[in-house]
Structure 1
Amino acid sequence: MARLESEAKGGFYPTPSEEMDLILKRLSCVPGESITLLDPCCGKGAALKQWNDDLTSKGAITTSFGIEIEKSRAEIAEKVIDHVAKCGYEETRMSHDAFSAMYLNPPFSATSSLITMFQ
């Protein structure tokens, strides 16, 4: 996608559910484990919800947190994930070890997805 077109969309690059399926096939958890998930560029919350639902189906106890700068997308995300901050990630404060894992698909110049697991 061209840079100008990206800026017109507000840098919104939702992860296709098929791509999330491929990512989620590689992740596992211990049934009964408590996992806190973070997506600091959550958009409408679809990818985070899909990840949350996948871990729940594998027996994890999950809590999801999203951050979305664009108000209308944040309002949609609030309907599908547990907690949403309507601001830019740089406006938030988090303590060390607050999250078990993070999904990051920020509005780069070119699309890309990345999952980072924290230990």
Structure 2
Amino acid sequence: MSTRPAAIGYLRRDVSGVSQVWDETQIGSVARRLGYELAKTIVFDARTPDAVAQLITAVERADADAVIVPGAAHFGGVIPDQLVRVCDVVTVSPEATYARWALRADGA
């Protein structure tokens, strides 16, 4: 059993296109560099119903501390607040961390 915090990779295949394998490699690389154990990578597409809710369920089941995603485009351009409320979200490019502790209880 690993003592490193768990992370889940996430991408949309329709956004990654032919770069999907590269995006998955980048997710794994960032996870290792930041000290996460990558539990799995979830791949959805534009037709996936309620993708963010499904991702949150996966985070809760894996007891993950972070979701690592190639970029905000995989969320339609905006990192979802409801996801940041349950875990950190790390984007590969540009590399940024949206920390759950940075959100105040009143949502500001």
Q: What's the TM-score bracket when you normalise by the shorter of the two chains?
A: 0.3 to 0.5
TM-score by length of 2: 0.40
Structure that is richer in helix per residue: 2
Asked which structure has the greater CA Rg, the reply is 1
